[in-house]
Structure 1
Amino acid sequence: MNAFATANRQSLHFFSAAQILGDLAVASGNYDQAIRYYTALAQAPTAEMKIESEYLVGEANLRQGKLPEAEASLAKVIGASIQSPQGLRLQALAKAGQAVVWAKQGQGEKALEQVNSLVGTLDPVDSALAARIYNAQGACFEALGDQEGAVLAYLHTHLMFSSQADAHAESLSRLIDLWPQVGNADRAVQARQELQQRYPGRLK
């Protein structure tokens, strides 16, 4: 597939191939390579794919802790002038990601306010978006030192949106750390067992 993407940059299938390669690079922890593939999506003919390029680059930077770079990309998505359902969905995802950036930068209250506005309007049928939003809410509560609130947020993803593998693995990983802090070490053991069974590569 890598050879196809390199040799067929003018093909209609190039952009989908580039995104798949970027996703594979993220899954293997090679974020710089993922960003190179995602950046190529900015050359796509549609506005939605152009802002998806920015969103994916922002998320890849967030995963590796490059917070200023992540926020810069996510802010471009949020500020884009677009009204299509796909574009608005990407903006909601970007707002969730931006809230995580703010939480990691010590701006927990500002981050939580933004996430709560997303929770108030989310469509539970869109499980991928909902899982991202609840995980972002968990990160905000953690930043504020509210472990019980964080547990409840991550439990939303764990119990309601476990079909979303990446977000579900993240919620389990955080619950492993949080359950003992709220006096429930047994639940942490259960979360660890499930994470190991379902997502063995994600267990630290």
Structure 2
Amino acid sequence: MIVSALPAARRSWPVAVALLAFVAVPALADDVTRRGGELLRGSITSASRAELTIKPPADPAETVPAAEIVEVSWDGEPATMGRTRGREARGGLEDALTGFREALPEMASIGPLAKADGEFLVARVLGKMALNDPARRAEASSALEQFVKDNPDHFRTDAALRLLAEVQAAAGDVDEAAATVEQLKQSPSPEYQTAAAVAEGELALKRGDADAALAAFDAVLQNAEGRAAAEAKIGRAAALGRLNKHPEALTVLDGVLSEAAANDAALRASAHVRRGESLQATGETKPAILEYLKVDVLYPGASAAHAESLYHLSRLWTTAGFPERAAESAAKLKTDYPNSDWTAKLSAG
């Protein structure tokens, strides 16, 4: 038998190092990213349409309302999921769609909640794509409707209904969108109930009834708080703009931007677009360009607002005397959103 010449203490070092590494490296866990950026790590112990509960290793369990859940990273999910979520956030929707679809079998192996969340992510990307691509709207509506049908009590159910109503409205199916909003009203979440009321105001705008829309948003703001209130304020500003009350609209939007979370790209992008709309209407071309440019540079992942901003930039840069910048914005719109309604509008002149 060969005996090592190292002292016994030296021979034990590899074992000690291995044990130390085992203790120091944290176990895999579920991660819940809450609106505002807070990250909760632990084990998801229960979930419903209204909320989910996560138990950190050394702290009491915490319940997170469904309306505040931004993302969930699941213990055991494919390593590609983080990168795919990043692609979605940056506006790389085609790559994100492929990545989420490829991950579905492994998400299903984790459990029913994770499986459904994976299906929601696919439907969410399709919904975002459909807002700028009429050819995707039937597929997106089908995926979102199927998700809601299969998962009536999931913490993503109401987010799916909200996006479905937006896709239907973008397609001009206002009556179908109204029916979806009625489903959203049945949410156990007060915030999603408020979101349904905001959606009703948006549908009034879609019908061209700015007065009805303004009344709907004002009714929401009597009781709403948080993000739902911010969405109602953006809708209110849009209605004021339609009524040529642009200074008041700009004041409302300034308030939204001063209060919105820095990482709430969709909300901030929408506010900047509406500011650009009112600034254009009052002949303030360069300030309007700045609003749309903020969306292009800072929030390209907010695809609907981004496409609209590129359209306006492609026109306003020319007005400001920068035709080469206008051409760049037009080319970007056509490349990134070839089937968008905004691209079609640009091509039509």
Following superposition, the deviation at residue 15 of structure 1 comes to 4.5
Which residue of structure 2 aligns with residue 172 of structure 1?
310
* Alpha-carbon distance in structure 2 between the residues aligned to 1:164 and 1:76: 27
Q: Identify unmatched segments of 5+ residues in structure 1.
A: none
| 2:293 equivalent to 1:155 | yes
Of the three residues 5, 14, 24, the one matched with 2:167 is 24
Which residue of structure 1 aligns with residue 59 of structure 2?
none
Of the three residues 230, 243, 257, the one matched with 1:92 is 230
* Alpha-carbon distance in structure 2 between the residues aligned to 1:181 and 1:196: 20
1:106-153 CA distances to partner (integer Å, 9 max, x unpaired)? Answer: 111111112122223332211111111111211121222111111111
Q: 1:199 to 1:100 in 2, by over 3 A?
A: same
Following superposition, the deviation at residue 30 of structure 1 comes to 2.2
* Alpha-carbon distance in structure 2 between the residues aligned to 1:133 and 1:196: 23
Q: 1:53 to 1:142 in 2, by over 3 A?
A: same
Of the three residues 28, 35, 40, the one matched with 2:183 is 40
* Alpha-carbon distance in structure 2 between the residues aligned to 1:167 and 1:110: 21
- Number of corresponding residues: 197
Superposed counterparts of 1:65-76, under 5 Å? 65-76=208-219
2:153 alignment partner AA: L
* Alpha-carbon distance in structure 1 between the residues aligned to 2:179 and 2:212: 14
Q: Percent identity?
A: 27
Which residue of structure 2 aligns with residue 188 of structure 1?
326
1:65 alignment partner AA: G
* Alpha-carbon distance in structure 1 between the residues aligned to 2:248 and 2:166: 30
Which residue of structure 2 aligns with residue 12 of structure 1?
153
Q: Conserved in 2, the CA contact under 8 Å of 1:39 and 1:54?
A: no
Identify which range, 33-42 or 56-65, moves more after superposition.
56-65
Identify which range, 114-123 or 17-26, moves more after superposition.
17-26
Structure-2-length-normalised TM-score? 0.51
Following superposition, the deviation at residue 89 of structure 1 comes to 0.9
Q: Identify unmatched segments of 5+ residues in structure 2.
A: 1-141
Identify which range, 178-187 or 22-31, moves more after superposition.
22-31
1:28-63 CA distances to partner (integer Å, 9 max, x unpaired)? Answer: 232332122113211222211111101122223324
| 2:202 equivalent to 1:59 | yes
Larger C-alpha radius of gyration, 1 or 2?
2
* Alpha-carbon distance in structure 2 between the residues aligned to 1:46 and 1:156: 32
Give the aligned CA root-mean-square deviation in angstroms: 2.4
- Structure 1 runs of 4+ with >4 Å offset: 1-5, 13-17
Following superposition, the deviation at residue 20 of structure 1 comes to 4.2
Which residue of structure 2 aligns with residue 121 of structure 1?
259
Structure with the larger helix share:
1
Identify which range, 25-34 or 129-138, moves more after superposition.
25-34
Q: 1:45 to 1:122 in 2, by over 3 A?
A: closer
